[in-house]
Amino acid sequence: MVAPDIIPPPPGIYVPVPTFFKPASTSNGTSANAYSSATTPPPDLETQAAHSVYLAERGIRGLALLGSTGEAVHLTNEERKSILKACSEGLTKAGFPDYPIIAGTASNSIDEVVLQLEDAKEAGAQWGLVLAPGYFAGATRPNGVIAWYTAVADRSPIPIMIYHYPGVSNNVKLPPSVYHTLAPHPNIVGCKLSHGDASVHAQIALHPYVRANPLSFSTFTGLGQHLLPVMAVGCVGAIDGSAGFFPRTVVRLWTLAAKAEGLPSCFKTHEVVRRGSIGLWERGMSGISKDERKELRDLQYAVSSMEELVVTHGTVGIKEAISRLRKFGDVEGTRLPLMGGLPGGDVEWAKWAPVIDAVEEIETRLENNPGEKGKPALFSPTFKSDDEKAENGAPPAAK
């Protein structure tokens, strides 16, 4: 039986949440303190919690805090803990207890990573997302990476995921064999792949051990641009930056892709596993219609086109979009050496207007659709099918 607390995050869409900082102008201390606030503005915990609740209400399956988008390398350990705690408590107060939270780490020191994972558990995170060590990338060998992750997993108080993002880890190489070796470790439950090599996604997600043990190891992409194709080869979801400002659209894309692949029939629900049961989500989905397949492809095209903004401008672009479109945070709310705001300001933003507006139209439609609004996310612990409700004596939902 799978241990209730050592399972992957449930399939779905997760948001790598940016860290919101207060504007430097809010500082009212001495000149020295004002200078410090201007260069290292404090985290805006109120906005952090509010944005988390906004995402949960729109079907986002969980949050990845303190990752690359979250500027984790710009934060102290105390700030990390305060951000995790603020989000966890805010979600609980809003009616989302035990909401999935993944905490990132970005240190190359095993001891430091373990310390951060211990702090993360204390602050409310259920999983760790551990960035591959890349400082000595040129001299790093697969067996060294395997030994490093094994040492972290052996000591971590929470299950961990392997995080491979070559762009922020000195282009360190992690061949599929690394994942094949690490996947059976009882405290390593999945991976996030933030690169565009679909073949590597396939070689991990379709590996015989992974396919035979879906509740032991799950593969997530970090790029919503190719969500549909990588789900076709076994990935179970995405940890995607654009879902932070277009949550319903990306969730709809995932829902249709999951339906097309029959994904729900392959997984136990998170709640069932925690109860120690072995019941499967047996009903699955009935397949995808011709109209839904067209919608799925149209959505993937729209999301792929829009996410070129994220490819081009990274964390700065994500914060710009969240501020402009959803009114959370300040476009200049970053820490050095990042400079807040798109280079070129309004002129640069206007260049992206056609693709942004196209997805905003989709987001608005989904937001205003009474049939979708408020509907529990797939795999939510509180979600029950009409058949299950009938078994418990409750009438099915009105069609």
- Average pLDDT, stretch 340-363? 95
Cα–Cα dist 234/257, whole Å: 11
- Average pLDDT, stretch 376-396? 37
pLDDT digit string (tens) for 368-382?
A: 984 554 343 333 333
Confidence of residue 314 (pLDDT cuts 50, 70, 90): very high
Is pLDDT above 50 for 4?
Answer: yes
**Per-chain mean pLDDT for the chain:** 86
Cα–Cα dist 306/241, whole Å: 11
Identify the H or E element spanning 254: helix 247-261
- Average pLDDT, stretch 119-130? 98
Confidence of residue 39 (pLDDT cuts 50, 70, 90): confident
Is pLDDT above 50 for 1?
Answer: no
pLDDT value at position 253? 97
Cα–Cα dist 352/374, whole Å: 30
Find the range with the poorest average confidence among 16-20, 42-46, 168-172, 265-269: 265-269
Calculate the dihedral angle through the C-alpha atoms of 17, 23, 29, 35, rounding to the nearest 10 degrees.
Answer: 90
Find the range with the poorest average confidence among 159-168, 321-330, 334-343: 334-343
Specify whether the CB–CB gap between 104 and 83 falls below 8 A: no
Specify whether the CB–CB gap between 21 and 75 falls below 8 A: no
pLDDT value at position 3? 61
pTM: 0.86
Confidence of residue 110 (pLDDT cuts 50, 70, 90): very high
Give the chain's domains with CATH numbers.
12-385 (3.20.20.70)
- Counts of helices then strands in the chain (DSSP H, E): 16, 8
Is pLDDT above 50 for 159?
Answer: yes
pLDDT digit string (tens) for 83-107?
A: 999 999 999 999 999 999 999 999 9
pLDDT value at position 98? 94
Is pLDDT above 80 for 356?
Answer: yes
Cα–Cα dist 387/360, whole Å: 35
pLDDT digit string (tens) for 197-246?
A: 999 999 999 999 999 999 999 999 999 999 999 999 999 999 999 999 99
Q: Can you list the positions of beta strands (E) in 97-239?
A: 101-105, 127-131, 160-164, 188-193, 218-221, 237-239
pLDDT value at position 376? 36
- 180 or 393, which is more confident: 180
Beta bridge partners of 13: 238
Q: Can you list the positions of beta strands (E) in 240-367?
A: none
pLDDT value at position 333? 84
Q: What angle do CA 33, 38, 44 make, to 5 degrees?
A: 95
Which are the catalytic amino acids? Answer: 163, 192
